[in-house]
Amino acid sequence: MKTNYLTGLSIVLLTSAMSQIAWAHDPIFGVGPHVLFKDGFEVATEVESDKAGDAKEQALALEVTYGLTGDWAIGVDLPYVFKEEGNNSSNGNGDAGVFTKYRFWRKDSLGLQETAAVLLKGITNTAADNKSPALDKGTTDAILGLTYGYEGRKWYRWASARYRFNGTNDAGIDRGDKILLDFVGGIRPNPTGYKEVDIVWLLELNGEYGQRAELGGAELSNTGGTEWFVSPGIFWTKRNFAIKAGVQLPIYHNLNGNQQDSDYRAKMVFEWHL
């Protein structure tokens, strides 16, 4: 029972930032309202590296998205995770995710697009189990989000809010839900033409608030809390190929009890539209 409890708690502490969806010209760490053209495919490989104290996590993910209509897309992501805690390390399949995004509002004008979308993601419980450190969280989670985007020839801005419904894991721990907020600005210094290399610089402000986890109705002290990050990033695109990269740097921590603050999170995405 004690082993189960400790395993369960370590899974709670695994904040699983590795659940982000890459979408075309959307923020690197936040989300935006971009979808995909009808019958189009987006194939992306994503590398992410997180560090918090002596806990390190790297993930390599394959994401495939399909455009059902010009405003509605669905997809899957399949991560492979490498995890390190102190002297222990493990690796294996992470939790596969399925997601959808629907752009319910679009206002187009010359060289400008303003849009809003809702998104839903299910994070399955398919990660490799019996690993130490644990790779699985022992439950299925869901993320519901709302996002707005302004995309001009020179300036970009986005805002989004997401609510993550975290389930109760095998050890009986109710992992506590999470709220994620993102405010992002971007600039294209040189508005280039079609088929030319295009570069957009981004600056994101990402906030995360996690509720305390509970076991048998009692709150667990070393769980939950708030963190804010400032995250510079870049889009590099040429026709139907994109490279996106960014790093999250913590600017504020208020984690409950004795938890390791995030040191950084870095991400790089290679993406094709087919």
Partner 1 sequence: MKKQIIVFVFGMLLLSPAFAAGTHYEMRVDGLACPYCAYGIEKKLKAIEGTDKINVDLNKGLVKVNLAEGKTLTDEQMTKLFNDSGFTYRGMKKTPLDK
Contacts with partner 1 by CB under 8 A lie at: 24-25, 34-40, 67, 69-71, 103, 106, 108-113, 151-153, 188, 191-196, 198, 200, 235, 237, 239-240, 242, 273
Q: Which lies closer to partner 1 via its Cβ, residue 2 or residue 195?
A: 195
Query: Which residue do the tokens 């769980």 mark?
Result: 223
CA distance 232 to 265: 11
As given in the structure block, the two tokens for residue 239 are: 């026709």
Q: Which lies closer to partner 1 via its Cβ, residue 89 or residue 153?
A: 153
Q: Which lies closer to partner 1 via its Cβ, residue 35 or residue 171?
A: 35
Strand pairing of 97-109 and 41-52?
unpaired
- Shortest spacing between CB 81 and partner 1, in angstroms: 29
Q: Which lies closer to partner 1 via its Cβ, residue 70 or residue 207?
A: 70
- Shortest spacing between CB 117 and partner 1, in angstroms: 11
CA distance 53 to 90: 17
Q: Which lies closer to partner 1 via its Cβ, residue 25 or residue 137?
A: 25
- Shortest spacing between CB 15 and partner 1, in angstroms: 31
Of residues 49, 71, 73, the one with CA closest to residue 61: 49
CA distance 147 to 117: 5
- Shortest spacing between CB 51 and partner 1, in angstroms: 31
Query: Which residue do the tokens 């139907």 mark?
Result: 240
CA distance 85 to 89: 6
- Shortest spacing between CB 63 and partner 1, in angstroms: 16
As given in the structure block, the two tokens for residue 94 are: 């992470």
Report the first-to-last Cα separation within the chain, whole angstroms: 50
